[in-house]
Each structure stands twice: as structure tokens, then as C-alpha cells.
């Protein structure tokens, strides 16, 4: 099943509740929150207080994408604030297995993320414990960047490995997903589509979400 996860990074932070509601009315089924610390990535965004406020503003699951150093130190706080899904970067975790199990021990869905320069092979030992794998299709840190097409083969590879090994993680894509790129990411195997600028950048988030989901669903139908 294809799901749309709008990233609030491109939303108007003074009108978050309203914008998230509009995206939900357009069919979004998960809300993606980009947590940046100014160390792992060259930008800073939000922390647990915003997660806590959004938790009260929507019933949709909150997908917290941690782009931070030492994620173990903050995972319990994000859980407490209301995160339902939590992903950590392979590149930020010295003890990746431990960190993923820590997320799972809090009854959150656990995801692992790879940057454009990180190969799928780097995940071979954790694919059996994750609920989802997030393939970054831009270098993390900012919204509205250009999609990097060389990341597409990683989505297909993850789908292939899942089949071969009988696993059941889901495949998420993040960065530069728009009406121009949504068909190719879906054809490559992505099932959870993060989109910031394409949903909140301009126009009506409800209509933007509807248009993206329609294009994604059409591409998924062509695939089978």
C-alpha cells in the first residue's frame, strides 16, 4: 500500500495544526517530522516540544526522522512526546543494533535511514529487525532540494532483498519527491513517500497531497 507522509519542514510553523489537518484531508496517512541538531546535519529544526503539541493536533502517526548525533540519548524523550515511528541514520549510530532495539523496546516502529552515499549493503545485518528502511534521495538537512536519481536503484534492491530473505520491512523515500519524480520512486519500490515542498511549499496542502497520491497510485498500478 502506498502512503503519503508530508514533511512539516516546509509547512508554516505558526499554522502547523491547520496545515497538517489539510494534508490529512488530502489523504496523507503519516506525518513526517525532521529532527535536526546542527551537528549530524548543518541545520536545526524542532525537538520534543513540537512533537508533543502536534500529537494533540492530529490522530495520524508521527514519523520522527532523527538527524542527530547520539540518538539513544533522546529517543525516550521523543517517545514520551508522542512519536509513533522513529528512524535513525546508519551513519549516526555506532551501535546500530542497540539503537534500533531501544526504539522497539518503546513500542515504536523502528526505521533505519541511509544517506545518498551509503550503500544498501551497510544494512544487511539489521534488515531483519527494522520495520522500515528510509532511503534518502537528497543529502539530509534541507527541504526543497533536487532529487538524486542514482538513489533509485537502492529502493529496487531493498525490494529484491526483502523478497529473497522473506522479510517484511517497508521502503520509505525522502527528498525531492514531487509530481515529477513520484512515479519513478514508486516504480522503483518505494511505498511510504515523504514530501515536504511538494505538499506545503505552495498552494493548498490538501490538493497537493491528493495530486501526489493519485500519481503514486497510478504508478503503483502500472507496476503490477
Q: Kind of pairing, strands 31-36 and 62-67?
A: parallel
Among 26, 27, 176, 205, binds ligand DX5 (CB under 6 A): 176
Q: Are 54 and 23 spatial neighbours (Cβ–Cβ below 8 Å)?
A: no
Q: Helix, strand, coil shares of the chain as percentages rounded to 5? A: 45, 20, 35
174 is catalytic: yes
Among 65, 154, 170, 206, binds ligand DX5 (CB under 6 A): 65
**Which residues have CB under 8 Å from 77's CB, separation 6+?**
48
34 is catalytic: yes
**Which residues have CB under 8 Å from 131's CB, separation 6+?**
85, 109, 110, 111, 169, 170
How many residues touch ligand DX5 (CB under 6 A)? 21
Q: Which of 37, 63, 131, 174 is catalytic?
A: 174
Minimum CB separation from ligand DX5 for residue 187, in Å? Answer: 18
Q: How far apart are the first and last CA of the chain?
A: 13
Q: Are 126 and 100 spatial neighbours (Cβ–Cβ below 8 Å)?
A: yes
Q: What are phi and psi of 36, to 5 degrees?
A: -125, 140
Contact track, ligand DX5, 125-154, x by CB under 6 A: -------------x-xx-xxx---------
Among 3, 7, 71, 92, binds ligand DX5 (CB under 6 A): 7
Q: Which of 34, 37, 63, 211 is catalytic?
A: 34
Task: Please say which residue, 3 or 34, places its beta carbon nearer to Zn ion.
Answer: 34
196 lies in the site for ligand DX5, by CB under 6 A? yes
What does the binding site for Zn ion look like in residue numbers (CB under 5 A)?
A: 34, 65, 174
Using CA atoms, how far apart are residues 218 and 202, in angstroms rounded to an integer?
Answer: 23
Contacts with ligand DX5 by CB under 6 A lie at 7, 9-10, 32, 34, 65, 138, 140-141, 143-145, 174-177, 194-198
Q: Which residues carry out catalysis?
A: 34, 174
Amino acid at each position: 500500500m502506498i502512503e503519503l507522509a508530508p514533511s512539516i519542514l516546509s509547512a508554516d510553523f505558526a499554522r502547523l495544526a491547520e496545515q497538517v489537518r489539510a494534508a490529512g484531508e488530502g489523504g496523507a496517512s503519516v506525518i513526517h517530522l525532521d529532527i535536526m541538531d546542527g551537528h549530524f546535519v548543518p541545520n536545526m529544526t524542532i525537538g520534543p516540544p513540537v512533537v508533543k503539541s502536534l500529537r494533540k493536533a492530529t490522530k495520524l502517526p508521527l514519523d520522527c526522522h532523527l538527524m542527530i548525533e547520539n540518538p539513544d540519548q533522546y529517543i525516550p524523550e521523543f517517545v514520551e512526546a508522542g512519536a509513533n515511528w522513529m528512524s535513525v541514520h546508519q551513519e549516526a549510530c555506532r551501535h546500530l543494533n542497540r539503537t534500533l532495539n531501544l526504539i522497539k523496546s518503546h513500542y515504536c516502529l523502528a526505521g533505519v535511514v541511509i544517506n545518498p552515499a551509503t550503500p544498501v549493503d551497510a544494512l544487511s545485518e539489521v534488515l531483519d529487525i527494522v520495520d522500515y528502511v528510509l532511503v534518502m534521495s537528497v543529502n539530509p538537512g534541507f527541504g526543497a532540494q533536487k532529487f538524486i536519481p542514482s538513489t533509485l536503484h537502492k529502493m529496487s534492491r531493498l525490494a529484491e532483498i526483502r523478497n529473497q530473505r522473506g522479510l517484511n520491512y517497508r521502503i520509505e523515500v525522502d527528498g525531492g519527491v514531487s509530481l515529477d519524480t513520484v512515479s519513478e520512486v514508486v516504480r522503483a519500490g518505494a511505498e511510504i513517500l515523504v514530501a515536504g515542498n511538494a505538499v506545503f511549499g505552495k498552494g493548498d496542502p490538501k490538493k497537493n497531497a491528493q495530486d501526489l497520491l493519485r500519481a503514486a497510485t497510478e504508478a503503483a498500478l502500472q507496476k503490477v
